[in-house]
């Protein structure tokens, strides 16, 4: 395995309680109850004081850091504006979708009303962020938000699952696609999205049941494909770990995360995905996914098994068709070259469950760390976070 950048693991440094946001980005969260509130990017934490130190040779630059709430997603527009995604998992963030200012401020997006979710607006599930999971900037500079509408990942709110397009020039919603229950069932969890601006399609991983969702953006019609196919399902036999510990919930069950990471090739010809708790990577031609005449059985025949890769959460592809993976088992970002070679791009102890990527046209990669393995769901109800949540950036290696 080629080491493009290497960092020392395990070194620790003392951090003060109230961390101040640095630069321009977001914060983080994970599955369980819903009672904590966040009011700013930097909130005081008097229990978590230890955090991994930045290795001297790490290429990761801190754009922003936060104590709470938990960030999972990040999007960066061509003009440099940055957006963060804070799902309603263990926390109840005030701003589940936020624009992050260069001073570290957090602004509800597109406005405070969209970020509101309580008893007073229960009859308007399509007009509010319920539990947004992904924020994504497409090649034309439009912003997309994917909301599985499943607070605490405990079941969808009826009428809530949606894919929303926002024009950042006006900060107005320009398309709001409701995903019907026939596609996003009550047990579903819409996870991540990629937009094909050439053919006007959206491709979504759904990790609750384990499926792909394909949306025709011209008609707003969504289809569920390959539900429970082996390529969609997490594997509970692999003993996948984070920080050396298996992820086991309060009931004693091993973590099983189905179809999660997703990436669209630069030429738009292939969609890549993988279950999170899995060491396999798959792809299929997007032309097949767009063909409603093909049955699941016919689609399954076109799936390519690309072999072993690290267990990972987020995924993206660069212009040279390298597949980047956030490898949470060893605090790293890795990439799979077109010939199948796995290379370590960066390894840094601050990558406490590296989560989601955002690539920019000028060759920068942004990544969040969500510390999912340290949240109450996987620690018998007690949060073990000892680090701030970050948004990092670095130059993509050649």
CATH assignment of the domain containing 229: 2.120.10.30
Pick from 96-105, 144-153, 284-293: least confident: 96-105
pLDDT tens across 31-58, in order?
A: 333 333 333 333 333 344 467 888 989 9
Q: What is the mean pLDDT of residues 244-250?
A: 89
Query: Does 190 fall in a domain?
Result: yes
Percent of the chain with pLDDT over 70: 87
Q: Give kind and range of the element (H or E) at residue 172.
A: strand 172-178
pLDDT at residue 19 is higher than 50: no
Q: What is the pLDDT of residue 153?
A: 93
Can you tell me the distance from the alpha carbon of 237 to that of 389, in angstroms, rounded to the nearest whole number? Answer: 30
pLDDT at residue 191 is higher than 70: yes
Can you tell me the distance from the alpha carbon of 306 to that of 308, in angstroms, rounded to the nearest whole number? Answer: 7
CB under 8 Å, gap of 24 or more: what pairs does 183-188 form?
183/213, 183/222, 183/223, 183/224, 184/148, 184/156, 184/213, 184/222, 184/224, 185/156, 185/209, 186/155, 186/156, 186/158, 187/155, 187/156, 188/148, 188/150, 188/156, 188/161
For the whole model, what pTM was predicted? 0.88
Q: What is the pLDDT of residue 385?
A: 86
Give the residue from 90, 34, 69, 154 showing the smallest Cα distance to 376.
Answer: 90
Supply φ then ψ for residue 146, to 5 degrees.
-105, 120
Residue scoring higher pLDDT (103 or 72): 72
Query: Does 6 fall in a domain?
Result: no
Query: Does 160 fall in a domain?
Result: yes
Q: What is the pLDDT of residue 11?
A: 30
Could you give the count of Cα atoms lying within 13 Å of 377 in the half-sphere of its Cβ? 21
Is the Cβ–Cβ distance between 42 and 71 less than 8 Å? no
**Sign of the C-alpha dihedral computed for residues 62, 67, 69 and 70 taken in this order:** positive
Query: Does 260 fall in a domain?
Result: yes
pLDDT tens across 198-208, in order?
A: 999 999 999 99
pLDDT at residue 88 is higher than 70: yes
pLDDT at residue 13 is higher than 60: no
Q: What is the mean pLDDT of residues 6-11?
A: 33
Pick from 106-115, 247-256, 292-301, 321-330: least confident: 247-256
Can you tell me the distance from the alpha carbon of 351 to that of 74, in angstroms, rounded to the nearest whole number? Answer: 15
Domain interval for residue 177: 12-395
Can you tell me the distance from the alpha carbon of 7 to that of 99, in angstroms, rounded to the nearest whole number? Answer: 31
Can you tell me the distance from the alpha carbon of 96 to that of 112, in angstroms, rounded to the nearest whole number? Answer: 10
Pick from 63-67, 182-186, 224-228, 272-276: least confident: 63-67
The secondary structure of residue 61, as a DSSP letter, is E
Query: Does 7 fall in a domain?
Result: no
- The H-assigned helical ranges of 210-365 are 286-289, 296-300
- Cross-strand pairs, 50: 14
* Integer-rounded Cα radius of gyration of the chain: 19
Is the Cβ–Cβ distance between 177 and 166 less than 8 Å? no
> Mean pLDDT for the chain?
88
Q: What is the pLDDT of residue 17?
A: 28
pLDDT tens across 318-353, in order?
A: 999 999 999 999 999 999 999 999 999 999 999 999
Query: Does 177 fall in a domain?
Result: yes
Structural domains counted in the chain = 1
- Cross-strand pairs, 75: 83
Tokens 């049941």 sit at which residue? 209
Residue scoring higher pLDDT (253 or 9): 253
Can you tell me the distance from the alpha carbon of 24 to that of 100, in angstroms, rounded to the nearest whole number? Answer: 5
Query: Does 299 fall in a domain?
Result: yes
**Sign of the C-alpha dihedral computed for residues 12, 14, 19 and 24 taken in this order:** negative
């Amino acid at each position: 395995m080629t080491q493009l950048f290497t960092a020392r693991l395990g070194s620790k440094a003392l951090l003060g309680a109230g961390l101040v946001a640095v630069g321009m980005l977001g914060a983080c969260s994970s599955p369980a109850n819903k009672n904590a509130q966040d009011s700013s990017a930097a909130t005081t934490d008097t229990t978590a004081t230890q955090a991994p130190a930045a290795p001297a040779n790490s290429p990761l630059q801190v754009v922003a850091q936060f104590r709470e709430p938990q960030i999972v997603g990040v999007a960066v527009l061509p003009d440099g504006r940055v957006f963060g995604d804070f799902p309603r998992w263990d926390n109840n963030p005030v701003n589940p979708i936020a624009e992050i200012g260069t001073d570290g401020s957090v602004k509800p997006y597109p406005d405070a009303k969209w970020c509101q979710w309580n008893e007073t607006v229960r009859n308007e599930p399509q007009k509010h962020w319920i539990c947004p999971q992904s924020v994504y900037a497409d090649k034309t500079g439009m912003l997309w938000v994917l909301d599985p509408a499943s607070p605490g990942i405990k079941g969808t709110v009826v009428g809530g699952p949606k894919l929303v397009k926002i024009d950042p020039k006006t900060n107005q919603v320009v398309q709001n696609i409701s995903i019907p229950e026939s596609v996003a069932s009550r047990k579903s969890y819409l996870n991540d999205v990629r937009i094909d601006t050439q053919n006007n399609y959206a491709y979504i991983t759904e990790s609750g049941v384990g499926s792909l969702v394909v949306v025709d953006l011209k008609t707003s019609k969504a289809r569920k494909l390959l539900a429970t196919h082996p390529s969609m399902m997490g594997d509970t036999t692999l003993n996948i770990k984070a920080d050396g510990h298996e992820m086991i919930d309060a009931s004693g069950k091993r973590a099983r995360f189905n179809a999660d990471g997703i990436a669209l090739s630069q030429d738009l010809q292939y969609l890549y995905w993988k279950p999170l708790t899995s060491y396999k990577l798959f792809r299929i031609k997007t032309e097949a996914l767009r063909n409603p005449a093909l049955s699941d059985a016919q689609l399954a025949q076109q799936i390519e098994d690309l072999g072993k890769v690290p267990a990972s959460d987020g995924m993206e592809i660069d212009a040279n068709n390298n597949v980047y993976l956030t490898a949470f088992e060893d605090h790293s970002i890795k990439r799979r070259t077109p010939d199948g070679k796995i290379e370590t791009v960066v390894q840094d102890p601050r990558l406490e469950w590296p989560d989601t990527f955002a690539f920019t046209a000028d060759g920068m990669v942004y990544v969040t760390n969500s510390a999912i393995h340290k949240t109450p769901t996987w620690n018998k109800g007690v949060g073990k976070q000892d680090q701030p949540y970050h948004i990092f950036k670095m130059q993509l290696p050649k």
